[in-house]
Chain A
């Protein structure tokens, strides 16, 4: 896109071949990450929201920020969008300051709106979309946006006559109308039913195929795993796990088995059936297992002297806490 040439002038762009065609939007050649957080800390009053968060997201990736409510996801997103400024550390978006990236029209966003529609009251949907288009330097043609979001039937509707799910689709159209390089979604499927969610993620996949970067916050592991190339798990304001969905799922899905054991043998425990992770603290043992029944049978078969054994259900909250507690033992998988 022409926009990239004119607006990236301030960025270090290696130009070894002066006659080379301009880099297409879909496959950026420069190694500038779409997003980078370096040791970012942020507090509201006395409540810490982010605690030395460090993460880098490459262009073209679809990345989920997974974490329980209050983990710091929305704060991270507000920083990416320049809605707030980092109190400590640095945030860069598309190689520049977040506010600058937003001002250049390279970022689109779907924010959490609580009970609100996220749209201006008393106006036709088409009018809102046409306005949003005009706010961006190189927008997507309107009919294309309408098709991508599947809202052709809503164009003549007044914004205050939309259902929650319909308003969400219109907000998605608003987010992509400006033809953004980076799309940021904060819990985008919150008001949708299952069928709506499925259709919505199909749209996101389509959007991601065009080579754009998509970052979304969610607290549904399934959503993160199914949609994202990479899942960054955040809890208590920092990254507790990072990797492809499958590896995250193995870490936090399944069940946790805990018991006490006077002399736990880590190697043995790790070899038990179904076990994906072993965590020892003195005589306390935590096992992550994808098949708790098999693991317990194996424990008995190996005559492990366990006491107070408990199998804890697939409670994500627990899983996040578990990841947080075991943070030192988790090696961060390198980012693709």
Chain B
């Protein structure tokens, strides 16, 4: 087994063996979806041609990706930094970039089943009906475009300390979720909030999913915003790392 594969395997196994992590990551989006489903009449349509139930499902997939990304990086990574393990890894042969990349990849691996699970809940309890191809594409597109959330979790883990990490993750989860229009349609927001929503990555993530359901083209601007966020977060992680190195605490 090559070192990087061994490290990746170690990370993923550690993630899926953590019960608290699984409950939060899988529980939040599914429970929220169920709650929202009970709250609205099924015939209600928002955002043009998307039925409410399908709309909700996409939002909860997007929320699930956000939650999984933040929780798998966030608090766990700052706990590893606090324990000194992150530093210990830096004196092993695996390069630093691979530590960051493995963290992001492990988060991505966790995000995929969360998206699929929300889809399954949508198809069963939610009564969402889509062509087989769309189900598949929806999962694929929402998954691939989740990279900025995985990266954001890693950035949080690199930035905040172990005590505040959990609060930061929870805060970001709900602030981004709410203002990104995952709990309430952006179209029903006041105009100030609406322009704020369009600046957030999960709004664009959500929009990609909705486009698929509407059968419209995947807007290039959504991809562009998500790529820009990923690049900005990657840069922030690098700067953060550099700063720690200068202080000698990396």
Question: Which chain B residue has the least Cβ–Cβ distance from A102?
Answer: B91
| Interface-central residue, B3, B6, B88, by most chain A CB under 10 Å | B88
B10 at interface, CB cutoff 8 A: yes
Q: In the complex, A112 Cα to B95 Cα: how many Å?
A: 21
Pick the interface stretch among B77-85, B116-124, B188-196, B225-233: B77-85
Q: Are A81 and B91 within 8 A (Cβ)?
A: yes
Q: Are B92 and A83 within 8 A (Cβ)?
A: no
Q: Are A83 and B91 within 8 A (Cβ)?
A: yes
Q: Are B250 and A83 within 8 A (Cβ)?
A: yes
* Proximity bits, A108-138, B CB within 8 Å = 1, else 0: 1101111011111111000100011011110
A96 at interface, CB cutoff 8 A: no
- CB-CB < 8 A to B85: which residues of A? 116-121
Question: Which chain A residue has the least Cβ–Cβ distance from B94?
Answer: A135
Interface positions of B from 2 to 34, Cβ below 8 Å from A: 3, 6-7, 10, 13-14, 17-18
Q: In the complex, A82 Cα to B87 Cα: how many Å?
A: 11
B48 at interface, CB cutoff 8 A: no
Number of A interface residues at 8 Å Cβ cutoff, please give it: 39
Question: Which chain A residue has the least Cβ–Cβ distance from B90?
Answer: A83
Query: Contacts A84-B250, A116-B82, A120-B85 hold; do A134 and B6 have CB atoms under 8 A apart?
Result: yes
Query: Contacts A44-B248, A116-B83, A118-B84 hold; do A111 and B6 have CB atoms under 8 A apart?
Result: no
Chain B contact residues, majority secondary structure? helix
Q: Are A178 and B88 within 8 A (Cβ)?
A: no
Q: Are A122 and B80 within 8 A (Cβ)?
A: no
Query: Contacts A103-B95, A123-B14, A132-B92 hold; do A111 and B87 have CB atoms under 8 A apart?
Result: yes
Query: Contacts A44-B247, A84-B245, A123-B14 hold; do A113 and B84 have CB atoms under 8 A apart?
Result: yes
Q: How far is the CB of A250 from chain B (nearest CB, A)?
A: 34
Interface positions of A from 203 to 256, Cβ below 8 Å from B: none
- CB-CB < 8 A to B13: which residues of A? 127
- CB-CB < 8 A to B79: which residues of A? 121
Question: Which chain B residue has the least Cβ–Cβ distance from A74?
Answer: B248
Query: Contacts A84-B245, A132-B92 hold; do A111 and B84 have CB atoms under 8 A apart?
Result: yes
- CB-CB < 8 A to A116: which residues of B? 82-85
A174 at interface, CB cutoff 8 A: yes
Question: Which chain A residue has the least Cβ–Cβ distance from B21?
Answer: A122
- CB-CB < 8 A to B76: which residues of A? 121
Q: Are A136 and B80 within 8 A (Cβ)?
A: no
- CB-CB < 8 A to A174: which residues of B? 88
* Proximity bits, B90-101, A CB within 8 Å = 1, else 0: 111111000000
Q: Are B84 and A135 within 8 A (Cβ)?
A: no
| Interface-central residue, A44, A75, A81, A116, by most chain B CB under 10 Å | A116
Q: How far is the CB of B8 from chain A (nearest CB, A)?
A: 10
User: Could you write out 28 A-B pairs with CB less than 8 Å apart?
Assistant: A44-B247, A49-B248, A78-B248, A81-B91, A83-B87, A83-B248, A108-B91, A109-B88, A109-B91, A112-B84, A113-B87, A114-B84, A116-B84, A117-B83, A118-B83, A119-B88, A120-B80, A120-B83, A120-B85, A121-B79, A121-B80, A123-B10, A123-B14, A127-B10, A131-B6, A134-B6, A171-B88, A178-B93
Residues of B at under 8 Å CB distance from A?
A: 1, 3, 6-7, 10, 13-14, 17-18, 76, 79-80, 82-85, 87-88, 90-95, 245-248, 250
